[in-house]
Amino acid sequence: MKKLCSFIGILTFLVLQLSAQKVNNKVIETIQPFPYQQHQEVDAALNAMMTWEKSDWKSFYKMLDDDSLKLKATYALNAFVNKASLSADQKPIAKQNLAIGLKQVKTEYAKKFVQAQLNLLTDQSEVNLYLASLPKIDTRQPADPLAKTNLNASQQLLLAQDLLEAKVNPLTIKQFLNRVSRIPGIASFMLASKYLNDPIVSNDAAIVTARLALTDETVQGPAVREALEKALPLIKGEDSAVLAKAVIKLLKKMPYDYGYIYLFNGNDLNGWKALVGNPILRSKMGDSALKVEQAKANQKTKGDWIVKDGLLIFTGHGDNLATDKQFADFEMFVDWKITAQGDAGIYLRGSPQVQIWDTSRREVGAQVGSGGLYNNQKNQSKPLVVADNKIGSWNNFHIIMKGEKVTVYLNGILVTDNIALENYWDRKIPIFPKEQIELQAHGTYVAYRNIYLRELPSTDPVAISEEEKKQGFVSLFDGTNLDQWTGNTTGYIVKNGAVEVNPDAGGGGNLYTKEEYSDFVYRFEFQLTPGANNGIGIRAPLEGDAAYVGMEIQVLDSEHPKYKDLQVYQYHGSVYGVIPAKRGYLLPTGEWNQEEIAIKGNKITVTLNGTIIVDGDIKEASMNGTIDHKEHPGLLRTSGHIGFLGHGDVVRFRNMRVQKK
């Protein structure tokens, strides 16, 4: 028996060697890491594949035709396509190579596999051109109702959701998800993410959501983070070599601010409340009086707005429904549907309204269509065109509000173009800078779904408070530029009113104030990402390791599991290597922390979120040697620069101001 096993093993080896002779060694060596997917080796392999010549690809496709060699080739090609799909430069190269390969491969397995990979990079119409020369392959698929050239992206997504909810078979769902993956933007991402809980198509949905997020930086925020964290363990096999790694990297640096949140969770009215008066009336109420009136309104309108089958529905009786939260500038998406004679609207900052109505109601002027700012008197009120879908069908609003200006897209068509919304409640004053969003109740049935929003950052410079001005504080950063800073200015960028470590361009490094400071109070806010590491250099020179030639106050997500074995002098707020800080006062990762560093002579205090976590004397602390047993000549310095000491992790800083003592 042992001799037989040995003979079979030798025979198998000889077969593999004979097969390999058909393929050049360069190709075999390149794809050797697959399917084990050691990330560093895989990255190198995929980069090498992008430089292959025609002869290399010809050898590679021979491997796909060979049963004894196709495993590595299958995994490698899938990873190659995943990576190419994320790059505008690499995608056309990959498409060209696959198109050639589709004509070169001979086995049915190879043809179907290459076809599937090409389909991920190409519109279906283009794929069909290549398939026309391959009559022996059964390429029949369910008819694609979305393959209509006259539908824009918004209309395609509305139709896709209608069809997906019609109890279609898994193959059709996969087909629709593939179509959705080619429509960039948050709406496509949100639709695909709904299928992460479907065990049959969850892997397809995970790949689609990953690609949509990786190729569009506006697809971000708590709702996106939640979906990607759900998708990550569903990305398996050959897809994990590139996509999973990219998603992990994206989640680590994804901003926590100015991203999409769900205004309606599809399950209940959490985040919503009944309407109390109008913004002017509410502003005149005290907190206690407003709470009483709110409780009365909630009770009175109970049952007027209901959640059924994932929809937010107004039953036809009652008053407006309002968000708990107030918003300033924002971008919002919402689907809506009305019945015959329907009339509704969406109040922005507590004011009427982006109009919704049945366009057949000519007696009230509804023939102009929905999406206009109905209550405007001086500024344009009517939409530019009629873009409504027929009554009983779903419509989509994409609403952008910046300052007093409103832009509305209805079903993907611009209907209101940057028009000022007038203050209905007092036309002598501008629209309120910040207020709630309301869904109007106007006596007729209306249903809503897919309501999500992201707040938009202000582009106005940030000024310090009058109180701090009186105390002698001056701003080091107004949210718009790094004019007062020097050093690695490419490793830090100004984004959404904050200074953000930019790992794609130097990974942070050191960024210092141009001015030097001796005794001072430095106040700032910071936001950590999971496991992030940075530091605040004080009294530091521009050269050398600031932790030693100056002083470093730790900025660290020190509660992260990877830091379980830290030394006491390494926790957040510590004077690195010299004075340990108290633990337990960092806010949860993603929230903005407030910190103050005050130093006068040898005395230093660090206050985190209102609690003093360091109160020490650097001279006394180092009298018998520092706690880390290293030389710290910077402790003798009496002045120097304030700086950020980056370690390649995304950390954000804002509202920096300093007071000289």
Checking if the pLDDT of 57 tops 60, the result is: yes
Nearest residue to 60 via CA among 93, 26, 107, 92: 26
Banded model confidence at residue 291, pLDDT cuts 50, 70, 90:
very high
- Residues 654, 543: one domain? yes
Q: What is the pLDDT of residue 16?
A: 43
CA distances for 512 relative to 251, 476, 483, angstroms:
28, 11, 11
Using only C-alpha atoms, the chain has a radius of gyration, in whole angstroms, of 30
User: What pLDDT digit, counting tens, does each position of 163-174 carry?
Assistant: 888 766 787 788
Read off the tokens for 542. 């521009």
Banded model confidence at residue 68, pLDDT cuts 50, 70, 90:
confident
Tell me which of 262, 283, 314 is where a domain ends.
262
Mean local confidence (pLDDT), 397-419: 96
- Residues 539, 588: one domain? yes
Checking if the pLDDT of 577 tops 90, the result is: yes
Mean local confidence (pLDDT), 448-468: 92
Nearest residue to 201 via CA among 171, 159, 168: 171
Number of domains, the chain: 4
Nearest residue to 555 via CA among 649, 658, 430: 649
Count of CB atoms situated within 10 Å of the CB of 567 = 12
Asked if the structure places residue 51 within a domain, the reply is yes
- Residues 527, 617: one domain? yes
**Bond into 353 cis (ω within 30):** yes
Nearest residue to 526 via CA among 615, 646, 624, 374: 646
- Residues 491, 609: one domain? yes
- Residues 122, 95: one domain? yes
Q: What is the pLDDT of residue 144?
A: 57
Q: Give the residue carrying structure tokens 């097969």.
A: 19
Asked if the structure places residue 145 within a domain, the reply is no
- Residues 410, 525: one domain? no
- Residues 238, 256: one domain? yes
Q: What is the pLDDT of residue 5?
A: 47
- Residues 476, 520: one domain? yes
- The residues that bridge with 516 in the sheet, in sequence order, are 641
Q: What is the pLDDT of residue 36?
A: 60
Nearest residue to 185 via CA among 500, 454, 457, 529: 454
SS3 414: strand
Asked if the structure places residue 296 within a domain, the reply is yes
| Segment holding 220, helix H or strand E | none
Q: What is the pLDDT of residue 136?
A: 43
Picking from 26-30, 57-61, 429-433, 583-587, which range would have the lowest pLDDT averaged per residue? 26-30
Read off the tokens for 563. 């830091």
Tell me which of 262, 288, 318 is where a domain ends.
262
User: What pLDDT digit, counting tens, does each position of 519-535 carry?
Assistant: 999 999 999 999 999 99
Mean local confidence (pLDDT), 571-584: 95
Answer whether 493's CB lies under 8 Å from 471's CB.
no
Query: Which pTM does this prediction carry?
Result: 0.78
- Residues 445, 535: one domain? no
Q: Give the residue carrying structure tokens 């190409």.
A: 122
Answer whether 240's CB lies under 8 Å from 264's CB.
no
- Residues 380, 294: one domain? yes
- Residues 373, 474: one domain? no
Asked if the structure places residue 383 within a domain, the reply is yes
Banded model confidence at residue 389, pLDDT cuts 50, 70, 90:
very high
Mean local confidence (pLDDT), 205-211: 93
CA distances for 651 relative to 223, 252, 412, 657, angstroms:
21, 10, 36, 18
Asked if the structure places residue 171 within a domain, the reply is yes
User: What pLDDT digit, counting tens, does each position of 636-647 carry?
Assistant: 999 999 999 988
In sequence order, the 6+-apart residues with CB closer than 8 A to the CB of 53 are none
Checking if the pLDDT of 402 tops 80, the result is: yes
Amino acid at 39: H
Read off the tokens for 168. 């279609």
Tell me which of 62, 96, 131 is where a domain ends.
131
Q: What is the pLDDT of residue 648?
A: 85
Checking if the pLDDT of 631 tops 90, the result is: yes
Count of CB atoms situated within 10 Å of the CB of 81 = 25
Asked if the structure places residue 81 within a domain, the reply is yes
CATH number at residue 339: 2.60.120.560
Asked if the structure places residue 2 within a domain, the reply is no
Q: Give the residue carrying structure tokens 């209805």.
A: 410
Asked if the structure places residue 93 within a domain, the reply is yes
Q: What is the pLDDT of residue 133?
A: 44
In sequence order, the 6+-apart residues with CB closer than 8 A to the CB of 100 are 54, 57
Mean local confidence (pLDDT), 408-418: 96
- Residues 471, 513: one domain? yes
Checking if the pLDDT of 623 tops 60, the result is: yes
**Domain interval for residue 396:** 272-455
Answer whether 316's CB lies under 8 Å from 445's CB.
yes
Banded model confidence at residue 37, pLDDT cuts 50, 70, 90:
low
